[in-house]
Structure 1
Amino acid sequence: GSGTRSRDLKPWMIGLLVVLSLTVVAVTIGLLVHFLVPRQKTEYYRGTFKISDLRVNSNSGQSSTYQFKDLKEMSEYLNLISVKFPAFQNHQPEKGCGKRVVPLIVNRIMSGVIAAKAAWPWQASLQRDNVHQCGGTLISNTWLVTAAHCFKKSANPREWTVSFGNKINPPLMKRNIKRIIVHEKYHSPAREYDIAVVQFSPRVTFSDDIRRICLPEASASFQSNATVYITGFGALFYGGESQNDLREARLKMISNEVCKQPQVYGNDIKFGMFCAGYLEGIYDACRGDSGGPLVAKDLKDTWYLIGIVSWGDNCGQRNKPGVYTDVIYYRNWIASKTGL
């Protein structure tokens, strides 16, 4: 009688509306949970990590070059690794080791480019009577690795100092040498066992400009043609003088098969040595670079010391690449002397 029409909803329509409403609410809640609530993911590290074509076993066991026969074998291996190496967030290999604040911008130290400040914070300059003699690499806040032949004239710690930073003068920091340990089997003019560790005092405090590099495990191995980097204060040409500014260059690993060819170095390449550079010459280590680092980085931009500048015929000469002491070969010796 009032003129207002009342529309009765049938039961099936009410049911449909309820179902639609609940569906919308459920989808909305689901989306909110998906995007807003942090998910609990289980992450695992693989048993191998790559250092610019190096393969290292995370469990410090044997070399990890695996050939899987089928997917089942790979699945079983990954399940085993999942148990052994549970991940945790923000994992670093070792705190502060092998990390740098400057991004990598190396074009291709002879003919290398001047390094940016803090680009290679583990580089050291070993000086005798305050004159640069050799490079060195910081492996802890009190230890360096360098070449044994740097101490042919004198291994008296009182005659030596070490400075840090990307310039020799003025040095960023200077320290006195406390102990020089040359490999017991090194005897000049032979080139085998060309490695030494040096302890300085007082210890350094790490900063953006001064940091230690990571040492690879003794079980590591590398592939030929890996990309590596060399740094040093050495001469720009054979017979030249050391440079005040740190220089850097990008090199390639050269296989022992190639390096032992008669036109290269033949039988002069012995155990504990490897070649890096270019057979066409140009980029190479030179006088004053001796003892300095040859480094490579892994996929997480962590840097490892791979080689120590040891010897070569002249500098940047065709078919005469630089020869380096193999840090992996002497890894256990380093540990025995330094505890690192």
Structure 2
Amino acid sequence: MFARTILLLISTFASVIADDIKCGQTPIQPTINGRVTGGTEAVPYSWPWMIALCQNGWFGCDLECGGTIVAPHWIMTAGHCVQGSKPSQFRVKSGVFKQSKDNEAGEVVHKVKALHLHPKYQEYPQVLYDIALLELEVDITYDNHTQPLCLPLHDNSTIVAPNVAWAMGWGATDEIGDATEELHQVELPFINITDCEPDYPDKLDPVHHICAGKKGLDTCEGDAGDPLVVKNKAGYYFQYGITSFGEGCGQKEHPGIYARVTTYCDWINTTTNGVVTCRDADIYS
């Protein structure tokens, strides 16, 4: 009985510690200057919520998509990255800067316990509900290389011009290139969705999509599932978009399209049994 009580207290204490962890922190500060097309190599481990979602290949873990840590055992990515797949096909690499390197300092490879694709996910005639949550078998331990990202409750005043966001990932840096070895980052201007709609006739829905980028600056092949983030006034980063689709890379007439995270706050909260919640970025500190 005494042993059970001790275990319960330890478990409760660990849960409290996890709940007290602030999201959106960067222990290693990124350098803020100016698929990640037109971007620059990131400071190693400066975007600590980034994970490489890879499939088990003949020669190790083959990069499939990017994703973000949103809780110790929850990863968020694009729905089309996992649609039609099984958990056993994937591995999640956290604490990495070079996506194909094995045994990087701080790297941990996680097995996926369950895939939660949004039940309304669709690819045609529009790409909608392009979001998935991956439940890990073992919790991620937070350190300087791994931290959770915040999710916003509201976004109307943020995802409009002339505001800017940051995207990061291991995607190609041009249309004909391969995935990059090192994590890259790029600053992207938001484009009002009404201004973006002519570039994608009948493809956009303001409830589900965010538009960002400009000629020469974009996400690209291999960046699916990567985040679009903005730092709030208190210095914490929030993920407003999930890299979803686009035409080409860095084309002036075809900016990148991102799944709008705030639309899915209720689904995220329900799916994670309340573990992951969206927060008010205006007051979070």
**TM-score normalised by length of structure 2:** 0.81
Q: Is the 8 A contact 2:30 2:47 kept in 1?
A: no
Q: Which residue is equivalent to 1:233?
A: 170
Structure 1 regions of 5+ residues with no counterpart?
1-92
Aligned match of 2:113: 178
> Which residue in 1 is equivalent to 2:62?
131
Q: After superposition, where does 1:163-312 map in structure 2 within 5 Å?
A: 163-164=93-94, 165-168=96-99, 169-170=101-102, 171=104, 172-189=107-124, 190-217=126-153, 219-223=154-158, 224-225=160-161, 226-260=163-197, 262=198, 264-270=199-205, 271-278=207-214, 281-312=215-246
Report the TM-score when normalising by structure 1: 0.68
Please list the CA deviations of residues 67-86 of structure 1 after superposition, one character each: whole Å capped at 9, or x if unmatched.
xxxxxxxxxxxxxxxxxxxx
Q: Which residue in 1 is equivalent to 2:15?
A: none
Aligned length: 242
Does the residue aligned with 2:189 lie in a helix, a strand or coil?
Answer: strand
Return the alpha-carbon distance in structure 1 between the equivalents of residues 176 and 243 of structure 2.
17
The Cα RMSD (Å) is 1.6
- The equivalent residue for 2:248 is 314
In 2, Cα distance between the equivalents of 1:119 and 1:177? 24
Verify the 8 A CA contact 1:106 1:248 in the aligned structure 2: no
Does residue 1:116 correspond to 2:53, yes or no?
no
SS of aligned partner of 1:96: coil
Which structure is higher in RCO with an 8 Å CA cutoff and minimum separation 6?
2
- State the partner residue of 1:332: 266
Q: Structure 1: which amino acid aligns with 2:129?
A: Y
Identity %: 29
Asked which structure has the greater CA Rg, the reply is 1
Structure 2: unaligned runs, 5 residues or longer:
1-18, 277-285
CA distance 1:238–1:103, change in 2 (3 Å): same
Runs (4+) of structure 1 moved beyond 3 Å?
none
189-198 or 117-126: which moved more? 189-198
* Aligned partner of residue 268 in structure 2, secondary structure: helix
| d(CA) in 2 for partners of 1:312, 1:104 | 26
Counterpart CA distance in 1 for 2:123 and 2:202 is: 17
SS at match of 2:202: helix
TM-fit CA distance, 1:183? 0.8
SS at match of 1:332: helix
The alpha-carbon deviation at position 267 of structure 1 amounts to: 2.6
